[in-house]
Amino acid sequence: MVRVVDGLFRSMERLELAVAVHRLFAEDPVSLRTLAHKMLVERDMLSQAQRLAEERVLHWLRSSESAPVTGHMFRLTEWLGTAATQHQLIGADPAHPVMVPSLRTPLWRVLVTLMPDRRLQDGWLVVGDIHGLQGRTRQLLATAPSDSDRHELLEQLGIRRHSAQAWLDALPPEEPRSAPAAPSAPQQPLPRRTPGANGHHHRGGTPIPAAPAGNIDPTAALATLSALSGGRSPMLAGTPSTPPPPPPSPSSDPRRWQRIEVTPEHLRGGPVPVPEGYAAQLGMRPGTLLSVTGPGDNAIVLVWQGNQPVFDSLQPVLMRLNARPGDQVYITVDGYRLEAQLTS
């Protein structure tokens, strides 16, 4: 897999590869301005190079050349479930801690970047938002009979048995309702970690079940990456079939909602800018995409290109709300779902 991934990036032009190394797949991405200054090129040239690099990756993901990687990711996401530790991810395959020479980063970090529906948070690789999943866990445990198998209960949330106890041990206590809401702490960068000789596929418990070499269906494997090409974000096996309860209203929890002033261009399907802080709150960074399911099961894509994160289009949502130019619509993303409210 390392050779397959390395071959893709070695075929890129110099500026495209620089953007991939320092922005798209970097642990700590730098700004286009900083990279342009370092490379003594115009910022617009790097912006164009980033678009080309993204297009190359998307084209590669749709091709048969990526089948070893996409097939592995299909099995990996099934094994990881909706929550797994970073150590489990790194130790899930002997190739994961191996550096991809052209990108100067380990393979596992490349795989995480290519996963459209999950991100690393507090040492966990989680589908959607870790706090939302923690809240659903508390609610499930609180309403279950006292003699219930807690590991079996967590399977209803898509948390695999080999991750269940670690998830329970790390579950923070619920804050008292009377306590004032504390401001969310800024997301801390992942600690640098160099796995040692023990970084093999048995670390963290159960190894990934092997799949027969000839039985990987590239089309099915690419389903887990559909958001990268604008498709609908897939539902993982074990994920609850009913959506979680709607998040609090904009008035009760304004930090989770983004206000949008509707324009005629938005109603025609044009992009809708999103503040960098809100995109970062969702775990995004320059060069990444996030696909969520909106009202009416419409796929909505949030993409961060250059210095401006945008919704590719909110037209299906705005039409469903019967919004008009000048209206104010509040948008929030909770896990893999997008909710919208039109102010009266």
Nearest 5°: phi and psi at 258? -115, 125
What is the residue-averaged pLDDT of the chain? 76
Residue 303 lies in domain: 254-342
Residue 321 domain-assigned?
yes
Whether 208 maps to a domain, the answer reads no
Domain membership flag for residue 284? yes
For position 17, what pLDDT does the model report? Answer: 94
The predicted model gives 221-243 an average pLDDT of: 36
CATH of the domain at 266: 2.40.330.10
Beta carbons within 8 Å of 242's beta carbon, 6+ residues apart: none
Domain membership of residue 96 (yes or no) is no
- The domain total for the chain is 1
The CA R_g of the chain, rounded to the nearest whole Å, is 21
Domain assignment of residue 314, yes or no: yes
Q: What is the pLDDT of residues 276-286, one digit of tens each?
A: 888 888 878 77
Position 166 in a domain: no
Whether 332 and 247 have beta carbons less than 8 Å apart is answered as yes
Please tell me the distance from the alpha carbon of residue 126 to that of residue 136, in angstroms, as a whole number.
13
pLDDT digits (tens, 9 = 90+) for 67-120: 899 889 888 988 999 999 999 999 999 999 999 999 999 999 999 988 877 788
Indicate the pairing of strand 118-121 with strand 124-127.
Answer: antiparallel
Of 205, 234, 198, the closest CA to residue 84 belongs to 205
- What is the average pLDDT across 257-284? 84
Q: Minimal CA–CA distance to 239: which of 166, 156, 149, 336? A: 156
Rounded Cα distance between 325 and 307, Å, is 26
The answer to whether position 62 is within a domain reads no
Q: What confidence tier does 231 reach under pLDDT thresholds 50, 70, 90?
A: very low
- What are the structure tokens assigned to 298, written together? 């419409």
245, amino acid identity = P
pLDDT tens profile 7-18: 999 999 999 999
Domain assignment present for 213: no
